[in-house]
Chain A
Amino acid sequence: MALPANQPASRDQAKVMNRFDITKRMVALLRHEEAVIGGIGYTNFDLWAVGHRAQNFYMLGSMGLAVPIGLGVALAQPGRKVIALEGDGSILMQLGSLATVAARAPKNFCVVIMDNGAYQITGGQKALTAEGADVVAIARACGLRQSVWAADEGAFEELIALSLKEDGPWLIGCRIDSEKPKDTTERDPPIIKDRFMRGLGVK
């Protein structure tokens, strides 16, 4: 494991970035039809806003399930890299899933946590991440050894590139600001599923 030298020791030391900007940087690094699962709300809105890809799946509800859904895709297609984008409020609902990922240890799986310390979509109420919960530290304690905070945009790109090249599982914590997403995902679940399955070569 060759993690970047520039590694914040805790959430407080990571730079506050912008969700749309880092989502765009991440998508720009995808070259091999990697699957991306967008968690509910603004996380998948900005994934959609960056530009639809056939290998994107957008959740509409089922808060907290981006990591399990991504794990399922990773177990079904071990030859494909899978990234789950999840919010801090969402992952706090399903912390057990981090232990499940650690136990299964899928080499092709990376979790990206977008942490703005708030339930932004419901009015910006403070999340427990703003009161001391450090998702990266929690992930490490669940057994996900390759869990790191992205120090800044450059380090984020370096970590994504690393996760696409080296064996996972990975977890990348990203502090983000509270800017609104750039667009709203089309809400049509059967079409989202159908496009995703075709994008994964299943249909």
Chain B
Amino acid sequence: MADETLAGTWYEMVAAALKRHKVDLVTYVPDNVLRPLIDLVHADPYFTAFAVAREEEGLGINAGAWMGGRRGILLMQTSGFATLANSLASLPVPYQIPTLMLVSERGTLGEFNIGQQMVARTMRPVLDTLLIESPTITRIDELEFILDRAMTQAWATQSPCCFILSPLLTGGKVFAA
């Protein structure tokens, strides 16, 4: 839609990009960094947004929705992505379903939880091994270009795509001493 604001914060730009690509189903497991995006999609009647009990569920819901003609995205944090390897390897990848994922990256650039630091190291090897496109977004001036191009590519190639939002973009979660 032409009148959508393209300026503003990263989360406004993500929501606008989802609208441009007719992605109106948002499943998520909550995350503090993603909170403004989650709040935004809940407040906007264009989106159907709800929390699921596990990330795998959201992946299954979005895969089913895609096959039924509706586009969805799953929002989660790095540790949540770590629960997905089997589902990715046996559902969207072999069935060629372009399900979208968006991860707020933890474990780096000031992480305070060693568990997050360790599990974060499993994310890119899993994505690379499964040949899943996974652009890391660090700059707001590149955000729109990456989202638009990668979503277009996902639909065209019938391949899943995972956006990794760096703390350089979002500010991340900072240590409260």
Contacts and interface: CB of A to CB of B under 8 A. Distances in A.
A76 B69 contact: yes
A62 B96 contact: no
Contacts of A69: 60-61, 63-64, 67, 91
Contacts of A192: 95
A190 interface: yes
Interface in A58-110: 59-65, 67-77, 80, 94, 96-97, 99-100, 103-104
B69 A77 contact: yes
Given A75-B48, A200-B68, A202-B69, A60 B61 contact: no
A193 B25 contact: no
Contact of A71 (B61, B87, B94): B61
- Secondary structure dominating the interface of A: helix
Given A62-B86, A65-B91, A75 B97 contact: no
B50 A76 contact: no
A202 B53 contact: no
Contact of B68 (A59, A61, A76): A76
Contact of A73 (B58, B68, B87, B94): B68
A67 B57 CA distance: 8
Contacts of B59: 65, 68
Nearest to A69: B64
B52 interface: yes
Residue in B48, B64, B86, B94 with the greatest tally of chain A CB atoms within 10 Å: B64
Residue in B50, B58, B69, B86 with the greatest tally of chain A CB atoms within 10 Å: B69
B67 A193 contact: yes
Contacts of A77: 68-70
Contact of A96 (B25, B57, B64): B57
Residue in A65, A68, A74, A80 with the greatest tally of chain B CB atoms within 10 Å: A68
- Secondary structure dominating the interface of B: helix
Interface residues of B, number: 31
Nearest to B54: A96
B120 to A, nearest CB: 24
A70 B64 contact: yes
A99 B50 CA distance: 12
Residue in A35, A80, A193, A197 with the greatest tally of chain B CB atoms within 10 Å: A193
Contact of B65 (A67, A75, A103, A190): A75
5 contacts: A65-B63, A72-B61, A97-B52, A97-B53, A97-B60
B95 A73 contact: no
A74 B57 CA distance: 14
Nearest to B91: A62
A149 interface: no
A189 interface: yes
A68 B66 CA distance: 12
Nearest to B60: A68
B91 A61 contact: yes
A72 B66 contact: yes
